[in-house]
Structure 1
Amino acid sequence: MQLPAEAVAATVLIQVVQISGLPTERDVAYPGKTVAHWTGSEAAAALTLIESLPGSAQHRCGFWPGWSVRAYDDSLDLALFEAAFCFTCHEVRMHGTAVPATLATQFFDPEAPPARNLLSLFRTTVS
């Protein structure tokens, strides 16, 4: 999966969100509960894991993501990007100040080891 390179380099904080619904408007944060904050090497490792997600074909499920990550630079103002993951339809939707249109929708293989590791990381944030 491809993330905006400059945003990855500038990221100092990642919020992990357990999504509770879909946004009511385009390019608005996904509603849900922030369940973790990752900084330093933990944030860098998560971004590397996300970037290692192998591509996949689209599967139709209606896009009901369960998790998102929001990346922030040191200003902690607006999110550089938010990536919402649907492990059923293999889709990631991204938006934010650093996301070009070409990266807004991507597909990943949820059965691949990196995807399973990412889902496991998400799930451990609520245990």
Structure 2
Amino acid sequence: MLLPEDAVAATALIEVVRISALPAGRSDPYPGEVAGHWADGEAAAALALMETLPPGEQHRCGFSPGWGIRAYDDTLGLALYEAAFCFRCHEVRMRGTAVTAALATQFFDADAPPAQELLALFRAVPRGRPTG
């Protein structure tokens, strides 16, 4: 999976979101409960894992993402970028000021070990508590 390089380098905190629906508008964030946070080395490790997601074929499910991330720099202002992952149709959609059109929609092999490891990381996030 390709991520916006400069924004990844600036990422200080990642919110892990349990997505509950699709956004109402193009510029609205994906709605859902913030399940937890990754910071410092944990954030870097998660992003490195995402970068190892192998490309995959699109599957038809209508895009119903269950998990997403919002990445912030050290000012914790607006999100640098967000990514919504659908492990059923093997699609990730990204958006934000750092996301180019080429990065906006990608397909990954959701059955590959790195994808299953990422899904396990999402599921293991302690709810609401920042982790380091």
State TM-score, norm by structure 1: 0.97
CA distance in structure 1 between the aligned counterparts of 2:94 and 2:63, rounded to whole angstroms: 13
Equivalent residue number for residue 5 of structure 2 = 5
Q: Do the aligned partners of 1:78 and 1:97 also contact (CA within 8 Å) in 2?
A: no
What is the alpha-carbon distance in structure 2 between the residues aligned to residue 28 and residue 3 of structure 1?
Answer: 20
Letter in 1 for 2:25: E
Give the distance between the partners of 2:115 and 2:94, measured in 1 at CA.
17
Q: 1:65-86: CA deviations, max 9, x gaps?
A: 0000111011111111100000
Paired-residue identity, %: 65
Show CA shifts across 1:74-102 (max 9, x none). Answer: 11111111000000000000001110111
Q: Higher relative CO (CA 8 A, sep ≥ 6), structure 1 or 2?
A: 2
Equivalent-residue separation in structure 1 for 2:26 and 2:89 (angstroms): 19
Report the residue type matching 2:40 in the other structure: G
1:33 aligns with 2:33: yes
**Per-residue deviation, 1:27:** 3.0
Unaligned 5+ segments in structure 1 are none
Aligned pair count?
127
In the alignment, which residue of structure 2 is the partner of 1:48? 48
When the two chains are superposed, the root-mean-square deviation of aligned CA atoms in Å is 1.0
Offset at 1:126? 5.6
Q: Does the CA contact (< 8 Å) of 1:56 and 1:108 recur in 2?
A: yes
**Corresponding residue SS for 2:106:** strand
Q: 2:37·2:125 contact (CA, 8 Å) conserved in 1?
A: no
Measured in 2, the distance between the counterparts of 1:97 and 1:76 equals 15
Deviation string, structure 1 residues 4-55 (Cα, Å, up to 9, x no partner):
0000000000000000111011132100000111110000000000010000
Alignment of 1:57-72 (within 5 A): 57-72=57-72
Whole-angstrom distance in 1 between the partners of 2:38 and 2:24? 27
Matches of 1:27 and 1:56 in 2, distance apart? 27
Residues of 2 paired with 1:4 and 1:18: CA distance?
22
Residue 58 of structure 2 contacts residue 89 of structure 2 at CA under 8 Å; is this kept in 1? yes
Unaligned stretches of 5+ residues in structure 2: 128-132
Partner of 1:103: 103
Q: Secondary structure at the match of 2:30?
A: coil
**What is aligned with 1:15?**
15
